[in-house]
Structure 1
């Protein structure tokens, strides 16, 4: 199956998720229980949209527990700049209707200093950690800047671990996925 067809199928299935709020709460609580999340001083995350697993509560909880959270700002070339989240009033609509922080832009390389990176995905291949995004390549560029020992986590609904996602040379794997049922690691990379 090609990426476009797989995207269509997953997006259609997402409209049938029975308890998206409960799923988001389960993902949030599972992540917040992890020592490697609790100890991450700088977390790169994203402001969820539509039928993505909701991140708003997770971002707020990380921020309230003392983490510095940076969120992406979509640049005209579809690369991601980063800015600091400083509470619910620190985001505003940006390009393509995405909520973005209003803080000073930190540059595309700000993600290099993150101790934890949380990214969106439509699916992840459990054999390789290759994620299927929406097709713009923004997060693959961002993930290429992340160090090899930094946990990279894709947030998924149940059923979105999919074997055989086609990989292209620019695709970057994630080290794990967080689902309502728990965390799955990929590629034999332990998380400490």
Structure 2
């Protein structure tokens, strides 16, 4: 039996390999379950920051469209180099951006737009019981979430097996307040 990873880079490698092995039909079922679990977390008129899944990331465009159908303002990230993320409202249309990522076509709102959100759905490779989130390592969300209002729900979206007891943490890591998984729904996290 292989020992568990200990560093962030080892965890990233381990989790990325595991994600790629998830069959498409399982990804689709998980995406449906995540959409069902996310909708009760919002109300009409609220602003939610979300994301367009890349590769094997959990989530779906269906979730984004379902949020819009509830009259929720959905903001999606726009990568602008090593700076905090920019945000634009999702109107149902996406285009390929300079980083080959799907981006909203709406007007750019700036990094501070995340402060309008009452819920932020954050992509993650894993999250632990204390709210430590493991991302892809570029730091976009750690640089961006400092603009969120205090009390905003910061929800890491992961597969059930990516909710872990403990992950390595750095002082600059922004802690999540909850995890959202296909099997367990929203899990409130104990921030130290």
Q: Same fold (TM over 0.5)?
A: yes
Deviation at 1:39, TM superposition (A): 4.7
Deviation at 1:188, TM superposition (A): 6.4
Name the structure 1 match of 2:150: 148
**Alpha-carbon displacement from aligned partner over 1:89-143 (angstroms, at most 9, x marks no partner):** x2101132110112111000000011111110000011x1010000011011122
Q: Does 1:58 align with 2:63?
A: yes
Name the structure 2 match of 1:137: 139
Q: Does 1:187 align with 2:190?
A: yes
Does the 8 Å contact 2:45/2:71 carry over to 1?
A: no
Of residues 69, 78, 100, the one that matches 2:74 is: 69
Name the structure 1 match of 2:42: 37
- In 2, the alpha carbon distance for the partners of 1:146 and 1:65 equals 22
Q: Does 1:107 align with 2:110?
A: yes
- In 2, the alpha carbon distance for the partners of 1:149 and 1:82 equals 20
TM-score after normalising by structure 1: 0.91
Q: 1:22–1:81: structure 2 CA closer, same or farther, 3 Å change rule? A: same
TM-score after normalising by structure 2: 0.91
Name the structure 2 match of 1:97: 100
Runs of 4 or more above 6 Å deviation: none
Unaligned runs of 5+ in 1: none
Q: Count how many residue pairs are aligned between Structure 1 and Structure 2.
A: 184
Name the structure 2 match of 1:123: 126
